[in-house]
Chain A
Amino acid sequence: AEDTGLRVELAEEDDCSNSSLALRLWVEDPKKLKGKHKDNEAIEFSFNLETDTPEEVAYEMVRSGFFHESDSKAVAKSIRDRVTLIKKTREKKPASC
């Protein structure tokens, strides 16, 4: 995935049955972001695979003052990449989940 300078990871073990994920996002490469942001803070949030969209979460993060409007695309993309990865992992190994 193209590097947005942001990192998104599971904040908790994925139990695969729950549609709500606990994710954590932080700035790994501040140079890649346009707007002002707090770079030594990780933001933990829940993401529901069925009802939430990366763009919506990114918009809420901008509105909460975590990121600048110009970086909301990068935030949404980093969330989307991680969520897509998690969905693929879940499809591949339903047995061990």
Chain B
Amino acid sequence: SSLTQVVHSAGRRFIVSPVPESRLRES
């Protein structure tokens, strides 16, 4: 999705994406 952002740090790739609302209220 367009909100996905890729961040490279020290050779490791982090893919940032929004957390689905449902997962947030699961706990």
- The distance in angstroms between the C-alpha atoms of A61 and B7, with both chains bound, is 10
Q: Which one of A38-46, A68-76, A82-90 is at the interface?
A: A38-46
Chain A, interface residues (CB within 8 Å), range? 10 to 19
**Contact A26–B7 (Cβ < 8 Å):** no
**Residues of A contacting B17 with CB < 8 Å?**
41-42, 44
**Contact A45–B27 (Cβ < 8 Å):** no
Which residue of chain A is the closest to B3 with respect to CB atoms?
A: A41
Which residue of chain B is the closest to A60 with respect to CB atoms?
A: B9
- The distance in angstroms between the C-alpha atoms of A64 and B9, with both chains bound, is 6
Q: Which of A29, A43, A63, A64 contacts B27 (CB 8 A)?
A: A29
**Contact A42–B19 (Cβ < 8 Å):** yes
**Contact A26–B9 (Cβ < 8 Å):** no
From residue B16, how far is it (CB to closest CB) to chain A in Å? 5
A26-B23, A29-B27 known; A57-B12 Cβ under 8 A? yes
A60-B9, A64-B9 known; A41-B27 Cβ under 8 A? no
Q: Which of B10, B13, B18 contacts A41 (CB 8 A)?
A: B18
At the interface, yes or no: A55 with Cβ under 8 Å from chain B? no
At the interface, yes or no: A14 with Cβ under 8 Å from chain B? no
